[in-house]
Amino acid sequence: MTLRFLASPINPADINQIQGVYPSKPTWTTGLGTANPIAVGGNEGVAEVIALGEQAKSAGYKRGDWVIMKGPGFGTWRTHASATPSQVVKLEDAAREGITPIQAGTVSINPCTAYQMLKGFGELKEGQWFIQNGANSGVGRAAIQLGRVWGLKSVNVIRGRDDKEAEEKLKKSLKDIGADVVITDTELQAQGIKDQAKEWTNGGREPIQLGLNCVNGKAATAMAKLLASDSHFVTYGAMSKQPLTIPASMLIFKDIHFHGFWVSKWSEKFPDDKKKAVEEVLELIRKGEFKDTPVDEIKWEWETKGEELIAKVKDTLEGYREGKGVFVFGKT
């Protein structure tokens, strides 16, 4: 089938992939007319089916269908592509009703990461607590909102800002979408944090039983110290570029279990679970219960120059930007 892309985000993992430090490799090909094999960047996105053959028809596809990528490595930073049904997942008509291309194009990675980390470790029940760092990231905001919908309570750690007004504004924005407690990494590592955590959690009677970590280093160890015995701690990123350091007593006596989570692997291993997660999140978006992460729309029209697009990727590569960059394709 032939696809026309509608929206494709720039995720940190895409950058790592280009840098060659990501274990999942892109697809190299000479099929795009180059003498030497090249690869197209981008792992996430939504596309419209604009033409299809017998194989796609008998698999139930029709013109105008929206598809997302089944796994990583497809190369979504392009206007058009040809694909086989095995490379994509169809968004059913009911699922995409009222959903914008940006929403559909960014649902596979961040919201699904938050979804599965909250569901897959320790079976949190209504009223129970989790703690996370990087809480204003795409995954962080998704976890806050899914947690709120599922009746979970959250302690959210953000990096402190020099601009205290901006910091307060950020804290408020996370509380607005459902964060119960928001603190900075400095507050997390201050003395007396254990007593404070007790206060938040009804005198410790509602223990914190899950930690979600995308930072690593000292701040992650400090976060793990607030967990109750027999909790789970899930690492899905390492923004500090530090390893995770765990005191022996946290393993032996507190019996905390340390895991990692990689959404690509999960998607490949459990495609049906991923489809379910995607549909559930889209349904929440439709009902207004799940707000988009702030995005920076990057128009990709017929006349857009390659250099402009490359510059936008470099912006992400070089670090901090408020809002995730998303290529939004013109109808060409």
Q: Which of 250, 270, 296, 317 binds a copy of itself (CB under 8 A)?
A: 250
Cα distance between residue 75 and residue 95, in whole Å: 24
* Chain residues 165-224 in contact with a copy of itself, contact rule CB under 8 A: 216
Based on the shown chain and the rule CB under 8 A, indicate whether residue 256 belongs to the binding site for a copy of itself.
yes
Based on the shown chain and the rule CB under 8 A, indicate whether residue 253 belongs to the binding site for a copy of itself.
yes
Token duo for residue 86: 């095995």
Cα distance between residue 180 and residue 78, in whole Å: 40
Count Cα neighbours of 148 within 13 Å in the Cβ-side half-sphere. Answer: 19
Taking the complex as a whole, the smallest distance from the CB of residue 23 to a copy of itself amounts, in Å, to 5
> Of the listed pieces 42-50, 52-60, 255-263, 287-295, which binds a copy of itself according to CB under 8 A?
255-263
* Chain residues 10-29 in contact with a copy of itself, contact rule CB under 8 A: 23
Among candidate residues 22, 61, 115, 236, the one labeled active-site is 22
CA distances from 163 to 49, 156, 188, 289 (A): 46, 19, 18, 30
Site string for a copy of itself, 262-281 (x = CB under 8 A): x--x----------------
Cα distance between residue 201 and residue 185, in whole Å: 19
DSSP codes, 13-60 = HHHHHHHT-SSSPPPPBSTTS-SS-B----S--EEEEEE--HHHHHTT
Based on the shown chain and the rule CB under 8 A, indicate whether residue 92 belongs to the binding site for a copy of itself.
no
Taking the complex as a whole, the smallest distance from the CB of residue 266 to a copy of itself amounts, in Å, to 10
**Please, which residues have CB within 8 angstroms of residue 317's CB and are 6 or more apart in sequence?**
15, 18
* Closest listed residue to residue 129, CA positions, set 219, 62, 209: 209
> Of the listed pieces 48-56, 153-161, 230-238, 306-314, which binds a copy of itself according to CB under 8 A?
230-238
Taking the complex as a whole, the smallest distance from the CB of residue 206 to a copy of itself amounts, in Å, to 22
> Of the listed pieces 84-92, 129-137, 203-211, 235-243, which binds a copy of itself according to CB under 8 A?
235-243
Q: Which of 235, 267, 293, 316 binds a copy of itself (CB under 8 A)?
A: 235
Q: Which of 252, 288, 302, 319 binds a copy of itself (CB under 8 A)?
A: 252
Count Cα neighbours of 98 within 13 Å in the Cβ-side half-sphere. Answer: 11
Cα distance between residue 287 and residue 172, in whole Å: 22
Taking the complex as a whole, the smallest distance from the CB of residue 260 to a copy of itself amounts, in Å, to 3
CB count, 10 Å around CB of 60?
9
The answer to whether residue 320 is catalytic is no
Cα distance between residue 47 and residue 65, in whole Å: 8
Q: Which amino acid is at 45?
A: G
Q: Which of 72, 134, 138, 237 binds a copy of itself (CB under 8 A)?
A: 237
Contact of 282 with 107, CB cutoff 8 Å: yes
Q: Which of 25, 257, 287, 299 binds a copy of itself (CB under 8 A)?
A: 257
- Residue corresponding to tokens 């899950």: 210
Taking the complex as a whole, the smallest distance from the CB of residue 135 to a copy of itself amounts, in Å, to 18
Instruction: Catalog residues that contact a copy of itself under the rule CB under 8 A.
Output: 23, 216, 235-238, 243-262, 265
